[in-house]
Every structure is written in structure tokens, then in C-alpha cells.
Amino acid sequence: MAPDTRLDEVLATLDEGLPRALDRLIEFVRIPSVSTDPAYAPEVRRAAGWLCDQLAALGFEASVRETAGHPVVIARSQPGAGRTLLYYGHYDVQPVDPIALWDRDPFDPAIEDTPAGQVIRGRGASDDKGQLMTLVEACRAWKSVHGTLPAGLTLIFEGEEESGSPNLAPFLRDNADELRASLALICDTGMYADGRPAITTQLRGLMGEEIVVRAASRDLHSGNFGGLAANPIQVLVNALAGIKDDTGRVTLPGFYDGVEELSNQLRADWEDLGFDASEFLSRVGLKDPIGERGRSGLEMVWNRPTFEINGIAGGYAGDGFKTVLPAEARAKVSCRLVGTQDPQAIRAALQVHVRAHVPADCTVEFHPHGSSPACHMDVSDPAFAAARAALCEEWGREAAFVGMGGSIPVAGDFQRMLGMDVMLIGFGRDDDRIHSPNEKYNVESFGKGARSWARILAALR
């Protein structure tokens, strides 16, 4: 039987089975698998068991594996004739607070009609249960029609992504031989714009730090001590203010080591996307881009590093007024990293800079909050062209090679620990409200996402 005919039968099966696939997704979303709250630990485990049962019923060799925290689900198909693939997703979800802002029970999902089409409303519908199930449903259709998959496939679904994945890296190290494949696939991203599929080819890294400056042994009356005693808020803001110059560049020594300029080809590709920074900002009540002078909007959010102050506290901030010099001040800062920037070298440079601004009779403490380097994918691998063509066939538009301003540390873990490149393809939309009340996933994203993976599996065999 010709390959196109084999695929056509699979796609027809997916279309015919979409109502039942939606029922399965709704059943999955009903499980409140909130990984950050210990009270939900039994539900997280129940979600793992639900997934394992689904995969075992499809003929995968599936198991729930223990970690020091929530379990990992592993499922393996019979090896195929072509390349081997590793597919990652996560079955845990964010907390639902503030619950009062939800229009329905977040764990009583339902299909709703909206002006933009039908959506599945519920916590985890998009991040990441709906996304991971697109691949599962594609596998279901291939197995139903042909009894096998076109490529050897291992699935790894973790239950701690929304709580920082503390046990994933040790699990990967301990099971590297079992998990290693020729290419990893991740479905925890989105489309560039409604109706235009995307393949993410680079991710920014991350470095986070909390800074605590302490001065006097207690809060001081500003009339008695103001102008004489050190004010830790002033010390802290002086240090932080000096980290950027008036052109938007970060001044830390060595900060730009490893930052590469955008290639001409990628610059042209991104310009063709027609990104309007002012329009993008208008969605959140702003209009004027800031940042490094002379850089395009997509460069700044995908291909340039940042330094941001995420929170600052100290002194009295309640109702009324209290004239004190506080005993301490705190700030949480983070850097998004690109290229081969070294998170630990940047952390060290930040600490040296802050210490230089702290008076001799004050103290400063630093508390790290994680780090990961940036990731770049080798798009010369023919798999990227094959997947791009498959997405174009499904969506009727050429898939965009895009960057991502955020970080997905597991992608770097796959590269460094398992020695494989990563292809990130997702079908989320900008308005999916992930991590927020009233999360949703478009039925079109779910249905065409499953069809897309069916095509990609055929293309990558």
C-alpha cells in the first residue's frame, strides 16, 4: 500500500473519532493533577495511572515510574524501521487560584462555543493535557488502522513541570540508555499566530537570583537617622539601576559573552512574519517598545538577553504612612539568556556588581533561584524540513521557524544529557490563558494537532 494511502486512512480515522477523543480529553482534564500542592498528590498519581492505562490499551509497553516526587509515565512502542523518536509532555497542571475569576469549575471541563470557534474550557486543557493528547490520539489512529506506528516511539510524561521539574534531570540520568533516541519531540509550545503553525528552533535560558541587603539591627525613625544611616532600599535600587545603561544594554562585565547576532536568513524569515511590537504591546495596555536600541521586536523577545527586576520589597507599604529606614530590602531578579551565555558566570558578575554598591557596615545575601542555558536546534537535520512540509500540508500555510522568549529546561536536558536534538511543535494559541483563570484549548488545535502529528510521524519514519 502506498504511503499516502496509509496516511489518508489514518487522517480519516482521526476525523471520525474526534468526538470520542474529546471525551477522553475531558475525562483527563477532570483529574485535578496540581503538582505544587501536596494535598493533590493522590490526584497527580491518578492522572499518571490514567495515562498509563490509555497507553497500555494502545499496545505500548507502559509503566508508572517512581521518583523522589511525583511519578513519570514511560511508554515504548515496538522499534520501527526508521529513526527513533522521544516525545515529551507533562500531565500536571497549575493551581487554579483565584478561583473566583473562573466562569466554571476548572476541573469540570466542557466544550463551549465562542466567536472564534469551539474550545475546551478547564485547567490543563492547553497546558499541557490537550497538547500531549494530540500525539496520543495520532498514535491511536495509526494503531487502529495499521496495527503499528511508522516510527519507533518512546513517550515520557512527567508530573512536576509546573513545580520546577526537580526530579526530571535525575530521572533522565538514571534512565539515559532507555530514553536515548535520534530526535526528541516536545508539544508544549504554540502557533505563531492563529492558523499559522510553528516549529520552535531556539529557546532562551534563565538565571534567577534573590538579593537581600541588611543595614541597621531594626527599622529606624527617618527623622532621627535619615541622612546618617544607610537605607538598604536605596542601596539596593542604586545597585540595580546601574545594571542597564540608557541604550538598554546590560552593563555587567562579560554579560554578552556568547551572544551571537541573528543570521541573515533567520532575520529575513522573522521579518516576513510581520510582527508589530506596538500592536503586541497594545494587548496588555502598552504601546511603546523599550529595550536595546536598534533591535527589532522579535530580536528582543527571541534572540537578545535581558535583565529584569521581578519584585522588590522593604520598609512599610501598608495603608497610611510610616517614616522609617527599613532594616532590610529584597529584590528578585532574572535574566533571560541566549547563545552560549553561562548562567553561573552571569550570576557571579551580578553578585560582584551588587557587593560593590553595599556599604562596609551593611550585609548582602544571595539566594539562587535556578538556571538553565539557552537552546538552539540544528535545523539542517532533514527532520525539520520534513516536519515543516507536513505542517504545511495540514494547515495550508508554511510553518514558521520561530524563537521563544521563555525557557523549557527539558529541551536543554535532552540535548546535554541524552545527546539528541529537539523539535518543539505545539498548537496552543496566544489567548489560551494558560496559568490564568478560564484556560481553554481550541477544538481546532486539538483536532488538527492530532492530524499534524499523524503526518509528522509518517514523514519522520
Cα 83 to its chain centre, rounded Å, is 26
3-state DSSP assignment of residue 71:
coil
pLDDT of residue 407: 84
293 belongs to a structural domain: no
pLDDT of residue 81: 63
275 belongs to a structural domain: no
281 belongs to a structural domain: no
Cα 141 to its chain centre, rounded Å, is 28
149 and 33 both lie in a single domain? yes
Which of 337, 352, 372 corresponds to the end of one domain? 372
Return d(Cα 274, Cα 325) in angstroms, integer. Answer: 50
Which of 334, 356, 372 corresponds to the end of one domain? 372
245 and 196 both lie in a single domain? no
Global pTM reads 0.87
Return d(Cα 171, Cα 161) in angstroms, integer. Answer: 13
Q: How many CB atoms lie within 10 A of CB 415?
A: 18
CATH number (domain holding residue 69): 3.40.630.10
Contacts (Cβ under 8 Å, ≥6 apart) of 374: 202, 203, 204, 205, 337, 338, 339, 340, 341, 412
pLDDT of residue 1: 36
Contact 267, 261 (CB under 8 A): no
285 belongs to a structural domain: no
Q: Which residue range(s) make up the domain with 37?
A: 3-203+374-460
412 and 333 both lie in a single domain? no
Return d(Cα 291, Cα 171) in angstroms, integer. Answer: 39
pLDDT of residue 266: 87
378 belongs to a structural domain: yes
Q: What is the dihedral of CA 142, 146, 147, 148, to 10 degrees?
A: -60
276 belongs to a structural domain: no
**What's the structural domain count of the chain?**
2
215 and 108 both lie in a single domain? no
- Picking from 216, 153, 140, 210, the residue whose alpha carbon sits closest to that of residue 183 is 153
Contact 306, 341 (CB under 8 A): no
pLDDT of residue 79: 76
Return d(Cα 351, Cα 243) in angstroms, integer. Answer: 12
Q: What is the residue-wise DSSP string for 2-58?
A: -HHHHHHHHHHHHHHTHHHHHHHHHHHHTS--BTT-GGGHHHHHHHHHHHHHHHHHT
pLDDT of residue 4: 62
382 belongs to a structural domain: yes
103 and 13 both lie in a single domain? yes
Contacts (Cβ under 8 Å, ≥6 apart) of 15: 447, 451
The CA radius of gyration of the chain, in Å to the nearest whole number, is 24
Q: End-to-end CA distance of the chain, in Å?
A: 16
Q: What is the pLDDT of residues 108-155, one digit of tens each?
A: 999 999 998 999 999 999 999 999 999 999 999 999 999 999 999 999
Pairing of strands 324-325, 198-203: unpaired
- pLDDT below 70 — which residues of the chain? 1-4, 80-81, 194
25 and 173 both lie in a single domain? yes
115 and 242 both lie in a single domain? no
251 and 129 both lie in a single domain? no
Which of 372, 390, 410 corresponds to the end of one domain? 372
Return d(Cα 391, Cα 403) in angstroms, integer. Answer: 17
CATH number (domain holding residue 223): 3.30.70.360
CA distances from 4 to 395, 458, 459 (A): 17, 9, 10
Half-sphere exposure (Cβ direction) of 87: Cα atoms closer than 13 Å: 24
pLDDT of residue 78: 81
13 and 27 both lie in a single domain? yes
- Angle of CA points 75, 79, 85, to nearest 5°: 65
pLDDT of residue 409: 87
212 and 184 both lie in a single domain? no
283 belongs to a structural domain: no
Contact 421, 405 (CB under 8 A): no
Return d(Cα 18, Cα 309) in angstroms, integer. Answer: 45
Return d(Cα 291, Cα 301) in angstroms, integer. Answer: 10
Q: How many CB atoms lie within 10 A of CB 40?
A: 20
194 and 226 both lie in a single domain? no
3-state DSSP assignment of residue 95:
coil
Cell, residue 437: 483563570
pLDDT of residue 406: 85
Return d(Cα 337, Cα 332) in angstroms, integer. Answer: 17
Contact 121, 434 (CB under 8 A): no
312 and 185 both lie in a single domain? no
